[in-house]
Structure formats: structure tokens, C-alpha cells
Amino acid sequence: MRTADITRTTKETDIRLSLTLDGTGKAKIDTGCGFMDHMLTLFASHGRFDLNVSCSGDTKVDYHHTTEDLGIALGTAFKEALGDKKGIARYGFTVLPMDEALILTAIDFSGRAALNYDVPVPAEKVGDFDTELAEEFWHAFVRTAECSLHFIELAGCNSHHIIEGSFKSAARSIRTAVSFDAAYAGEIPSTKGSL
């Protein structure tokens, strides 16, 4: 079973996270930030990952440290759960509509960290969440998951829909990439022999 249990404790946050890649989309999320609870819950559902997250952070300052450290913890969990990556599809892409928003994502679990985040969000806040933090989350995720991840907003004007569509699209792309590909059974999907 491809699972990971992550504990991350700093002076700014205390995170406990468990991930099962081959799950059913069950989620129990308590980050101290309602918007991130919503994003991670739908991420788990659309990726069919079982995800439990508990986070206490310095939210009296803002949600920056909480959001970034959640990305670090989730990326670390994916790296750990994937192990040597034998037999995975490696790549995944999705074009996902969320009402008027249309978001393209593509991922490569290449062992190299790169983020292209072309997602203009018109509002500075959704509720009390600074919308620029969505990009911070994904930067942290790709650094620790060691993947290349691209986001392109093809359409959209509602900030909530744009960010939600991005999380849903990413979840579905990641689900494809981490799934097993019979053509690579027992093999690492790279001509280098490692990822």
C-alpha cells in the first residue's frame, strides 16, 4: 500500500499529515484556515486520495506559513508514498471546467522541481485567504514532491472558481500520474533508469 505519514513541526506550524495514494477520496482536514480545508478536501476527493491533515499555525499573523508548510508536508508525503516510482504513469494532464473558469494542469514526477503558475486571480482575497498564497502552496509542493507542475488558466473571472478549479485539475492530473501503467509494470518510466 502506497502511504505516508508526515510530521512537520516548526516555530510557525505543527502539522500531522497522512496520505494513501490508492484511496477512495476520504478526507479529514483541519488546517485552521477554512479555505485551505475546502481546497484539500476537494483535492483528496478528485484525486481519490485518502488524506488526513491536522495543522496548528501562527494564523494570528496570516495564513502564509500555514499554507506554505501544508504544501511542503503534502509534497513530502507524495515523494515518500511513491517510493522508487516503479510502474507509475509518471505524467498526467487535465483540462477542468469550474463554471466559467477553465484550468489546464500537467504534471511530471520527474525528480526535478519546477512550477509554471499562469493563473491570474482577479481578487486579492477569497474570504480571509490571500489568493497569492495558492501559488505559494504549489511552489512548496513541487519542491518537496520533486515534480514539474504546470497550471494555465484558459478562462475565468471568479477568484474562488479559479483557485478551486486549479486544485481539482491538479488532483486529477496527479491521480493519473501516480496510477500504475501496465506498460511499465516493475519498471521505472525513464530512459535514465531512475526518477
Distance CA 89, CA 184 (A): 8
Q: Where are the domains of the chain?
A: 3-184
Distance CA 174, CA 168 (A): 10
Q: pLDDT per position in the chain (195 positions), as tens?
A: 899 999 999 999 999 999 999 999 999 999 999 999 999 999 999 999 999 999 999 999 999 999 999 999 999 999 999 999 999 999 999 999 999 999 999 999 999 999 999 999 999 999 999 999 999 999 999 999 999 999 999 999 999 999 999 999 999 999 999 999 998 888 998 888 888
Q: What is the pLDDT of residue 194?
A: 84
Q: What is the pLDDT of residue 192?
A: 86
Q: What is the pLDDT of residue 184?
A: 86
Distance CA 49, CA 103 (A): 21
Q: What is the pLDDT of residue 15?
A: 98
Burial grade of 45 (CB within 10 A; 0-12, 13-18, 19 or more)? middle
Burial grade of 52 (CB within 10 A; 0-12, 13-18, 19 or more)? middle
Amino acid at 152: I
Distance CA 184, CA 62 (A): 44
- Domain 3-184, CATH number (from 3.50.30.30, 3.30.230.40, 3.20.20.30, 3.40.50.150): 3.30.230.40
Which residues are paired to 13 by β-bridges? Answer: 57
Which residues are paired to 117 by β-bridges? Answer: 151
Q: What is the pLDDT of residue 177?
A: 98
DSSP for 152-173, please give it: EEEE---HHHHHHHHHHHHHHH
Q: N- to C-terminal Cα distance for the chain?
A: 20
Q: What is the pLDDT of residue 68?
A: 98
Amino acid at 27: A
Amino acid at 172: R
The secondary structure element, H or E, covering residue 107 is: strand 101-108
Distance CA 160, CA 69 (A): 21
